[in-house]
Amino acid sequence: MFPRFTYLIQVLRNVERSLINSIFHNPPKELALAYVHQRDTVIPSKKFSIKDIVGDGFLLAVPKFRRTIEKRLKRKYGSPEYVWKMLIPKTNIKVCHECGHYHEQGRLCEKCYKRVQEETRKIKNKIQEKIGNSRIEQDVIVLYEGESIPDQKRKENETHLSE
């Protein structure tokens, strides 16, 4: 039924076109009919999919070309001209004067840094515990256990913090 109907429409269009062509020799400008040529939509029988080939499996990225031994070794161990990946003994190791641990020259001693960091955290917590979030308008002196307030500061000091 449907193909016949489209065929009928096609025939009617052809008749219309041939009539207009025979009468006016070309479509009149005033009574121009808009004609859009409709191509028959071709439905692809089946869309190609990679799934048809692979099925349940999966694809892996695989190298296309073989790498030479030189390139492989260069990637593995590096090269002195570019990046040398082999382990080199360090000669810039120093001993910390404070704690005796080893550290790299030009860098902070890790153990001392951790100690100071922990101490700072404790002091901060203690200050927050005593003063809270209110504004700090007076001098704050941090005292360690067994320490006393220096004499010149004793008069103006109001807040005592002790660990």
* Contact set with Zn ion (CB under 5 A): 96, 98-99, 101, 109, 111-112
Nearer to Zn ion, 84 or 102 (CB): 102
Nearest distance from C-beta of residue 94 to Zn ion, angstroms: 10
Nearer to Zn ion, 71 or 107 (CB): 107
Nearest distance from C-beta of residue 102 to Zn ion, angstroms: 9
Nearest distance from C-beta of residue 112 to Zn ion, angstroms: 3
Nearer to Zn ion, 37 or 97 (CB): 97
Nearest distance from C-beta of residue 90 to Zn ion, angstroms: 18
Nearer to Zn ion, 74 or 111 (CB): 111
**How far is it, in rounded angstroms, from Cα 94 to Cα 87?**
19
CA distances, 159 to each of 19, 94, 130 (Å): 109, 41, 9
